[in-house]
Structure 1
Amino acid sequence: MGSENLILRIEGIRSEDDRLEVKKILESINGVSWVCVDGTAGTAVVVFDPDHTPQDELINAVMEAGYTVKRFFNC
């Protein structure tokens, strides 16, 4: 299983509940092995298997929950 890191810049994380919601959404996606959401910085780092999960699926899941993904970076 290969893995990639994706860093998302997210607008709309205003509380601990928002932070936990974004974390839970990303962790529920098949192929995601690790998630860290920093509510203060408005970022999420996601480690995922690109063979099982396209990065668009991660971005779309966050956007469907009502947050705005401003930028993203692969590491």
Structure 2
Amino acid sequence: MVMGSENLILRIDGLQSEEDRMDVKRALEDVAGVKWVCVDGEAGTAVVIFDPERTPQDNLINVVMEMGYAVKRFFSG
């Protein structure tokens, strides 16, 4: 893990297409402190590596929820 980074895995319900997957990826990448994002549309998950001193986990979850998706914290560490 990169120093000053945390991993967050989100479960995202409602990803229907490649376009949905890319929209979520871009939205998360635009959040300050986000270093890396991978969204798996088939699994309905997003892995985010971010700097918790710049962005709390709740900000990342809220970005996706504001797009209209149901989101749950799957794992963080």
TM-score between both structures, scaled by the size of structure 2: 0.93
1:9–1:44: 8 Å Cα contact kept in structure 2? yes
1:6–1:74: 8 Å Cα contact kept in structure 2? yes
Distance 2:59 2:31 in 1: 8
Matched, 1:34 2:40: no
Matched, 1:44 2:58: no
The CA RMSD measured in Å over matched residues stands at 1.0
1:10–1:71: 8 Å Cα contact kept in structure 2? no
How many residues are matched?
75
- Structure 2, unmatched stretches of 5+, are none
- Structure 1: 4+ residue segments shifted above 3 A: none
Match of 1:72 in 2: 74
TM-score between both structures, scaled by the size of structure 1: 0.95
Matched, 1:9 2:11: yes
In structure 2, which of residues 50, 53, 58 is the aligned counterpart of residue 56 of structure 1? 58
Distance 1:24 1:58 in 2: 12
Percent of pairs with identical residues = 71
